[in-house]
Amino acid sequence: MGPPLPKPSYVLNRPRVVPVLKSVDETPSTRSLSFRDSLTGAAGPGQFGMVWAPGVDEVPMSLLPHGRDNIVTITVKERGEGTAALLRKKAGDLIGIRGPYGRSFTITGVKKALIIAGGTGAIPLLALLRRLASARAECTFILGAHTSQELLFKNEIERLSKETKGIVSITTDDGSAGAKGLATDEAARILYGSSFDRVYTCGPEVMMRKVVDLAAEARIPAEAGLERIFKCGSGICGSCCIGPYLACKDGPVFSSEILRGLPEFGKSTRDASGRPVIIGSS
């Protein structure tokens, strides 16, 4: 008997209204909402769902499946009306979910991995770490944030990485936890002294560009999870285009081979109207 057939798009695109089972503050600026949904409960690490705050907006969110009972968690940080509304949700409130969408991180054949997370990039990379740990891959994890208070999932990341015989490195911009500096500085140090089957990264795009370049110098394949404006989530609206690709459909996870051929990667993105915007500009 072969692998299960993929769900047809009309099934994934059909909104499901689900109650919030749990609402937990992760950091001063982020909150996790858990719900039950069989489709997104089977999502691969790096895939996303379109989450609806009733009466307000629908926004893309990284999915963190628990691997049991179809429980899924999303972790929300305020970035507009939709996320602000989701941050107000508590247990028993209703939200909508579509998906899962997009391509996930590659796991097959990886025995030793380097994972670099910046800020909320830790969300899909924790999903990846869980899968790699269950596959008995050795995982070294670099977790970066602006301050110690903004480190996401630190305890679980430390526990899982150590269980795989890997190393955990913490970096903060202000030095309030771990090494003071950038996650890319730590990545360069670790890549210089060790070898890996694959490098994974998710976080600020400038950081990911640096990681991809470092991996190329070390001749190690890399994958990065991109963030773009997703209006439909299913490749119809084109708002998430990067080069000839649609990040919602061809990504959001892209290989370093593709990313290094895209001049805008790490340098420019697009606003809600589709206009190119230099990353870091106001």
Q: Which of these, 234, 203, 208, 22, lies nearest to 123 by C-alpha position?
A: 203
Which region among 2-16, 53-67, 141-155, 225-239 has the lowest average model confidence (pLDDT)? Answer: 2-16
Let me know whether 75 and 169 are in one domain. Answer: no
Residue 6 in this model has a pLDDT that exceeds 60: no
Label the pairing between strands 268-270 and 276-278.
antiparallel
Is 48 among the domain residues? yes
Let me know whether 160 and 201 are in one domain. Answer: yes
The boundaries of the domain holding residue 224 are: 112-278
Is 1 among the domain residues? no
Q: How many domains does the chain have?
A: 2
Phi, psi of 225 (to 5 degrees): -95, 115
How many other CB atoms are found less than 10 A from the CB of residue 244?
9
Given 75, 101, 127, the domain boundary residue is 101
**Exposed/middle/buried for 2, CB within 10 Å: 0-12, 13-18, 19+?**
exposed
Is 184 among the domain residues? yes
Is 3 among the domain residues? no
pLDDT per position as a tens digit, 218-246: 999 999 999 988 888 888 888 889 999 99
CATH number at residue 195: 3.40.50.80
Residue 8 in this model has a pLDDT that exceeds 70: no
CB 74 within 8 A of CB 37: no
Which region among 13-17, 37-41, 97-101, 196-200 has the lowest average model confidence (pLDDT)? Answer: 13-17
Is 2 among the domain residues? no
Residue 193 in this model has a pLDDT that exceeds 90: no
pLDDT per position as a tens digit, 75-123: 999 999 999 999 999 999 999 999 999 999 999 999 999 999 999 999 9
Share of the chain above pLDDT 90, in %: 82
Is 154 among the domain residues? yes
Q: Residue range 202-227: average pLDDT?
A: 96
Residue 53 in this model has a pLDDT that exceeds 80: yes
Let me know whether 241 and 158 are in one domain. Answer: yes
**pTM to 2 decimal places:** 0.94
Give the pLDDT confidence score for residue 9 in this predicted structure: 66
- CA–CA distance, 72 with 273 (Å, rounded to integer): 31
Let me know whether 75 and 153 are in one domain. Answer: no
